[in-house]
A = this chain, B = another copy of it.
Amino acid sequence: MISSRQPDPTTGSPAPPHAAPPSAPPPGPTPRGAAFLLAQIGAHAAGRFAERVGELGLTPADVGLLRMIAGQPGRSQRSLAQDLGVVPSRIVALIDGLEGKGLVERRRSAEDRRNHELHLTDEGRRTLGAVSGAAAAHEDALLAGLDPAQRAQLLELLERVAAEQELTPGVHPGYRTLNKPPRGRG
């Protein structure tokens, strides 16, 4: 709600390194709990990930779509929209973009000619491979402050929280305006 890459009054956490951060914590009562840190770090992680895939010419939303198509080739736009909880018209624009980049192919279904079956192109598969590399680098950079044992510990705790909160594995709510990755260090 506030700016594109600046700190946010909501939680009050720091700006990502690529922005010009206020560097000094705001005076007064600053939130200190794990919930705040999770929101803060989570937003930071999402932003950094957006930067990385941005260098591949993709938005986080693009990545999600590519993954879903890869996992279930030939699926229709409708089913995609449903799984994502998105309005079908939204899918049109997203697929348009991916098709324009040569990563995805629309094929008229022979069984029901109203349907478009979605498939990755070879280029799409290559790109998805590059995304995996970016994701690994992202993970490593984010957890640079932790040793392997601590990383395992963190992962376990997070999985516990996610399970208790009934978060569906692999589905990320709200990426609102993250789609436009900041030009920061890309």
B83 pairs with A26, CB closer than 8 A: yes
In the complex, residue of chain B having the shortest beta-carbon distance to the beta carbon of A180: B1
B15 pairs with A135, CB closer than 8 A: no
Report how far A116 CA is from B175 CA in the complex, Å: 35
Report how far A38 CA is from B143 CA in the complex, Å: 11
Report how far A153 CA is from B151 CA in the complex, Å: 12
Residues of B within 8 A of A49 (CB): 10-11, 35, 39
A7-B171, A11-B60, A135-B35 as given contacts; A142 in contact with B165, CB under 8 Å = yes
Residues of B within 8 A of A162 (CB): 13-14, 37, 40-41
A11-B172, A63-B9 as given contacts; A29 in contact with B158, CB under 8 Å = no
Report how far A10 CA is from B40 CA in the complex, Å: 18
Report how far A31 CA is from B18 CA in the complex, Å: 25
B68 pairs with A28, CB closer than 8 A: yes
B46 pairs with A84, CB closer than 8 A: no
B34 pairs with A172, CB closer than 8 A: no
A33 within 8 A of B: yes
The residues in A between 41 and 69 inclusive whose CB is less than 8 angstroms from any CB of B are 41-47, 49-50, 59-65, 67-68
A145 pairs with B174, CB closer than 8 A: no
A1-B179, A3-B84, A12-B64 as given contacts; A171 in contact with B26, CB under 8 Å = yes
Sorted from nearest, which 6 A-B pairs have the closest CB atoms? Answer: A28-B71, A42-B42, A9-B64, A6-B85, A14-B168, A11-B172
